[in-house]
Amino acid sequence: MRIFDPHIHMTSRTTDDYERMYAAGVRALVEPAFWLGQPRTSVGTFADYFDGLVGWEPFRAAQFGIRHHCTMALNPKEAGDPRCRPVLDLLPRYLEKDGVVAVGEVGYDSMTPEEDEVFAHQLALAAEHGLPALVHTPHRDKAAGTRRSLDVVRESGLPPGRVVIDHLNEVTVGLVAGTGCWMGFSIYPDTKMDEDRMVAVLREYGTERILVNSAADWGRSDPLKTVRTGEAMLAAGFTEDDVDRVLWRNPVEFYGQSGRLDLDTPAGGEALFAGNSVLRGTPRTTA
Ligand SMILES: [Zn+2]
């Protein structure tokens, strides 16, 4: 099973996770820029975080045989903080970098007017830079948030095929299925979706335009939930080809629209199994 995790926050995971992921078949991933828990109080901390997403983290992933890409954005949770707003002026510089394959996570947290503005602005940035967009749907009031997100996407003029609406569930998937947007699902140990419910969604909606991720962050989460979903699909009678489509070819097709995917396996994986798992060399620096 070859796996491309289209949404996973490796910044909050350890090298043990990279090892386990490689051993289970994960060869590529996308790490979206997100909220770090502790509110940020200046633009400088975003710049350092973004530099980590295009420098240190791909370097670390490569040591373990995994190709790392990222998405960049001012996340919805911090969109309302005036101290963070200047991040919008910082973004264009990062959206030109290798390894940045979409704008995201954008979308709603509490659906405030500030969030509206920041969301629309960032979809415009995606259009300007020829990048797809990753839209996070809110945890509260999910159906209303999904509907409103789809309105904003429609108004942006971005082709729906360049947009993924993420963190969907049985209630919200139906709102997105007919729009032409991609449908993203985060599989968690005890919240959001689990792998068996995901299999039921795949039975009902098919495998087209569906992305499955583990989202793994520092909360209770599991970076192997993509693998578990693949196993649950096989157990339920889906073919190896179906699994490959959902867990590899779909994310490659979606993020490939950026023209920036790099899917050559880095040498790190073999080194790892030759007994050398120590971080070597120096990370890419970013000007
Ligand atoms: Zn996320």
What pLDDT is stored for residue 275 in this prediction?
A: 46
Task: Supply the mean pLDDT for the chain.
Answer: 93
Handedness of CA 242, 247, 249, 250 (dihedral sign): positive
| CA 147 to centroid of ligand 1, rounded, Å | 19
Burial label for 252, CB within 10 Å (0-12, 13-18, 19+), is middle
**Token code pair at residue 40:** 């940020």
Q: How far does residue 166's CA lie from ligand 1's centre (Å)?
A: 9
Give CATH superfamily name and number for 3-273: Metal-dependent hydrolases (3.20.20.140)
- Give pLDDT, residue 286: 47
- Quick check: helix, strand or coil at residue 31? strand
Distance, CA of 74 to CA of 256 (rounded, Å) = 22
CA of 120 to the centre of ligand 1 (A): 19
**157-168 mean pLDDT:** 97
Question: One-letter amino acid identity for 105?
Answer: E
Q: 7 CA distance to ligand 1 centroid (A)?
A: 6
Q: How far, in Å, CA of 6 to CA of 95, rounded?
A: 18
**pLDDT score at 269:** 56
- At 79-129, the pLDDT tens digits run 999 999 999 999 999 999 999 999 999 999 999 999 999 999 999 999 999
**Tokens found for residue 67:** 């190709």
pTM of the model as a whole? 0.92
In this prediction, residues 232-260 reach a mean pLDDT of: 98
What are the angstrom distances between the C-alpha of 261 and each of 29, 71, 97?
A: 10, 12, 12
Ligand 1 centre and the CA of 73: distance in Å?
12
Of the chain, the end-to-end C-alpha distance in Å amounts to 37
Q: How far is ligand 1, taken at its centre, from the CA of residue 275, in Å?
A: 32
Contact 137, 175 (CB under 8 A): no
Mean pLDDT of 236-258: 98
Q: Does pLDDT of 274 surpass 80?
A: no
Ion ligand 1 nearby residues (CB, 5 A)? 34
What's the 26 CA to ligand 1 centre distance in angstroms? 18
Q: Is the pLDDT at 282 greater than 60, yes or no?
A: no
